[in-house]
Amino acid sequence: MSTYQALEFTGESDQPWRWTARPRPNASELATDEVLVQVQYSRINHKDRLALTPASRVIAADRYPLVGGIDLAGVVAASNQPVWPVGTAVLATGFDLGVARPGGFAQYVRLPVRYLTQRPAELTAADAMALGTAGLTAAAALTEMFRVTALTDKNAPILITGGHSSVAQIAAASLARRHYTNVTVSVTHDWPAPAHALAHAKYAAVLDTVGGDALSVILPQVQPGGMVVAVGNLGQAALNTTVFPFILRGIRLQGVDSVHLAPADRGELWQLLATNLRPTPFPRYTTIPFDRLPAALTAPARGLTVVAIA
């Protein structure tokens, strides 16, 4: 039986990762709802770095050792599913990849078909991984924001918080693609609290990656009929607010969870990322070979890193 290489997270402080050789299954060994994907590219996410350390609780203690990698792009290598024939270019992000089941830091991975999204022809596998979970989150957030009537005006004031994050950067570049001209990208986590429950109505829509105090301060500044889309908690998790922005201005606070999106929604969002919401400029990234992944995971984060697995 042939084998393939995978990078396991061990959960041990002295040696948090190890290379392992695993037997490659054939089609007859797959469950009826599974396919085998040959991984071509993955990427290093903040969540992958956290998963190296059991104290982060990204991976439950009893799940170690586990192959990491929450994002992957590749091709179907074995399948009993007519809808997913061998050779189909696919993506998989979220669900429990790399946190409760083997993820994309391997040359092959068995996946339930509901995890799969067909990769749009307009995106290479490497470019798809430059977007990854962050891109999918940004696209999901923007499709919610576009429900705001005021955003029919390309000069409507939009705020994006956590500007150093991949989600914020991709969202800003996608809005540029759609010719929005009044987008403020904030990198601060410190927001001066308004003196009253309602403040000057500055923003038609907000994409918030910070949460906590920042979100508490932003809600009173949203225009009537506006929306805040919350996608993260780079700051704090606790939210301190009043009902007044909601009952006096009719604003909406919409959460986005890209981890458990339905397959049909994923397909639509990836197609948007490849076309109408393709970030402009496209994120700059560095590509490293698979054998350099352990060093990159344990080194300080420096920009966006895509991993060539195949």
248-274 mean pLDDT = 96
Please check whether residues 222 and 150 belong to one and the same domain.
yes
SS3 131: helix
Q: How crowded is residue 38: how many other Cβ atoms within 10 Å of its Cβ?
A: 21
Of residues 130, 131, 141, 54, the one with CA closest to residue 99? 54
Which pair of structure tokens corresponds to residue 46? Answer: 């903040």
Quote the pLDDT of residue 52: 94
Please check whether residues 160 and 245 belong to one and the same domain.
yes
CA–CA separation, 27 and 255 (whole Å): 39
Q: Identify whether 238 is part of a domain.
A: yes
**Residue 103 has what DSSP assignment?**
-
Q: Which of 255, 270, 298 is the last residue of a domain?
A: 255
Q: Identify whether 29 is part of a domain.
A: yes
Please check whether residues 138 and 250 belong to one and the same domain.
yes
CATH (domain of 95): 3.90.180.10
Checking if the pLDDT of 193 tops 80, the result is no
Please check whether residues 174 and 249 belong to one and the same domain.
yes
- Measured in whole angstroms, the distance separating CA 195 from the mean position of its chain's CA atoms is 35
pLDDT band, very low/low/confident/very high, at 114 (cuts 50, 70, 90): very high
Q: Identify whether 265 is part of a domain.
A: no
Q: Show the domain range for 181.
A: 133-255
Please check whether residues 117 and 219 belong to one and the same domain.
no
Q: Identify whether 267 is part of a domain.
A: no
Please check whether residues 7 and 75 belong to one and the same domain.
yes
Q: What is the pTM of this model?
A: 0.95
Q: Identify whether 40 is part of a domain.
A: yes
pLDDT band, very low/low/confident/very high, at 286 (cuts 50, 70, 90): very high
Q: Residues 36-85: pLDDT tens digits?
A: 999 999 999 999 999 999 999 999 999 999 999 999 999 999 999 999 99
Please check whether residues 104 and 24 belong to one and the same domain.
yes
pLDDT band, very low/low/confident/very high, at 190 (cuts 50, 70, 90): confident
Residues 129 and 105 sit within 8 Å (Cβ to Cβ)? no
Per the structure, the count of domains in the chain is 2
Please check whether residues 60 and 79 belong to one and the same domain.
yes
Q: Identify whether 228 is part of a domain.
A: yes
**Residue 2 has what DSSP assignment?**
-
Please check whether residues 232 and 173 belong to one and the same domain.
yes
CATH (domain of 181): 3.40.50.720
Q: Identify whether 204 is part of a domain.
A: yes
* Torsion sign, CA atoms 283, 288, 294, 299: negative
Residues 19 and 5 sit within 8 Å (Cβ to Cβ)? yes
Q: Identify whether 242 is part of a domain.
A: yes
Residues 160 and 180 sit within 8 Å (Cβ to Cβ)? no
pLDDT band, very low/low/confident/very high, at 157 (cuts 50, 70, 90): very high
Checking if the pLDDT of 160 tops 90, the result is yes
Residues 305 and 296 sit within 8 Å (Cβ to Cβ)? yes
